[in-house]
Amino acid sequence: MKARIAVLPGDGIGPEVMPQALQALETIAKQFGHSFTFTHADVGGAAIDKTGRPLPDETLKLARESDAILLGAVGGYKWEGLAYDVRPERALLGLREQLGLFANLRPAKLYPMLADASTLKAEVITGTDLLVVRELTGGIYFGKPKGIEKTADGERGVNTEVYTTPEIVRIAKVAFEAARKRRKKVMSVDKANVLESSELWRRVVIGVAKDYPDVELSHLYVDNCAMQLIRNPRQFDVLVTTNLFGDILSDEAAMLTGSIGMLPSASIGSTVGMYEPIHGSAPDIAGKDLANPIATIASAAMMLSYSFNLDKEAAAIDRAILRVLEQGYRTKDIASSKTSPPERMVGTKEMGRLICQELGKA
Ligand code: NAD
């Protein structure tokens, strides 16, 4: 197959981890006879430096005209003093809004050999393999009224949690479809004991479930879910939830697997999907060859699977990552004195090279 991929490396470690993912995609293309065209564009701070705006029109145009987008990360100390609407992070909201990317998919899978790198006990997290499906373009981050107003005795800050039936239906469908490719279990997370918007959420999800009789649906209140995630994460397959709850729970789920440097994500909804590691631009380690490229390489694998239906190719990347980890290679963020002999400690480029080497052997 032929695919045009928009490559947006962004800031900090973004431009370091991106080439590793592109190298893996090139290896896949050669092996499986595909043709991927990569077109680079600026986003975030890099774009601000050149154009004054975090999401220039040319970048958005490229994103719209591509078959998929691979993004590194945006942000950094240099741009922290700017107004919110011209900060690097604004580019992410812009891309999500403009491209209609209403569903964020974040798998959290523990690689068994990294159990010791997590802050949680190995016996609790072993076997964790879940997917958080977060609604991305609605809820309290976008609801109106919003703002801060003066009052007689100070100020009043307001945000509004709001969901409509179509918004809930479409995200629920994404979750049920994803569950069909996995262990066929959906846990819908809400706060229906307190919030009317959650009451509607639950009712609509139950309605959508009727079209998926092969998938088991359960419900949890978000506070209980936060607890269950660290008590027994193995009980979960697919979690589906609102923008705000998903923001928090997906970070909690990330910690189950040890390092933020391991986790990919997909944002889908329209014809073009966007794939990015869940981590930020990590300015503290940028330019030092310390960043773990696995989250970005795994994001490229998600792109192959979700945007191009190339499941075999995606699985080949996942297997190559697993094999390199099995051989004891670690970047600093996933090293643990118990599992990683010091001679196997590697930097960003070497980790990328090793994964490609494994891919080449397949
Ligand atoms: P961060 O994810 O950049 O870093 C958090 C910690 O994790 C740091 O100690 C960092 O060194 C480490 N880390 C992150 N990715 C790593 C990797 N691949 N390998 C090894 N270690 C890694 O989060 P932060 O420090 O809160 O934010 C830094 C900047 O990134 C900010 O400007 C923030 O707004 C931005 N940010 C961007 C995104 C995005 O582009 N999607 C997401 C989150 C934060």
Q: Which of 109, 116, 141, 289 is catalytic?
A: 141
C-beta of 241 in contact with ligand 1 (< 6 A): no
pLDDT at 331: 94
pLDDT at 203: 98
**Residues 9 and 103 both lie in one domain:** yes
What residue ranges of the chain have pLDDT lower than 50? none
pLDDT tens by residue, 45-62:
999 999 999 999 999 999
**Residues 124 and 239 both lie in one domain:** yes
**Residues 70 and 37 both lie in one domain:** yes
Domain final position from 230, 257, 284: 257
C-beta of 261 in contact with ligand 1 (< 6 A): yes
Strand partners, 68: 5, 273
What gap in Å lies between CA 347 and CA 344, rounded to an integer? 10
**Residues 289 and 252 both lie in one domain:** no
Specify the residue with its C-alpha closest to ligand 1, atom 4: 282
**Residues 232 and 269 both lie in one domain:** no
Does the CA dihedral 77-81-86-87 come out positive or negative?
A: positive
**Residues 233 and 267 both lie in one domain:** no
b/e per residue 123-137 (b: at least 16 CB within 10 A): ebbeebebbbbbbbb
C-beta of 291 in contact with ligand 1 (< 6 A): yes
Atom of ligand 1 nearest to the CA of 348: 19
Which DSSP string corresponds to 144-183? SS-EEEEETTEEEEE------HHHHHHHHHHHHHHHHTTT
pLDDT at 342: 56
Domain range for 212 is 119-257
The Å distance, Cα 121 to ligand 1 centre, comes to: 24
**Residues 251 and 266 both lie in one domain:** no
Say whether the peptide bond before residue 19 is cis (omega within 30 degrees of 0): no
**Residues 151 and 101 both lie in one domain:** no
Task: Return the SS3 of 10.
Answer: strand
Tokens 């099995």 correspond to 326
**Residues 173 and 245 both lie in one domain:** yes
251 classed as catalytic: yes
Mutation test of ligand 1: which of 279, 292, 345 has the most ligand atoms closer than 8 Å to its C-beta? 279
Specify the residue with its C-alpha closest to ligand 1, atom 31: 75
The neighbour count for residue 50, using CB atoms within 10 Å, is: 10
CA-to-CA dists, residue 133 to 189, 231, 241, 271, 325, angstroms = 10, 20, 6, 18, 27
Which DSSP string corresponds to 264-333? EEEEESSSSEEEEESS---TTTTTTT----HHHHHHHHHHHHHTT--HHHHHHHHHHHHHHHHTT-B-GG
Model pTM score: 0.91
Residue type, 291: A
Question: Helix axis angle, 57-65 relative to 90-99, nearest 10°?
Answer: 40
When divided into structural domains, the chain yields a total of 2
pLDDT tens by residue, 77-122:
999 999 888 999 999 989 998 999 999 999 999 988 888 878 899 9
C-beta of 117 in contact with ligand 1 (< 6 A): no
Strand partners, 275: 70, 266
Residue type, 266: A
Q: What is the CATH number of the domain that holds 134?
A: 3.40.718.10
Domain final position from 257, 283, 309: 257
Can you read off the two tokens belonging to residue 339?
Answer: 């599992």
237 classed as catalytic: no
Specify the residue with its C-alpha closest to ligand 1, atom 10: 282
Domain final position from 208, 226, 257: 257
The Å distance, Cα 282 to ligand 1 centre, comes to: 4
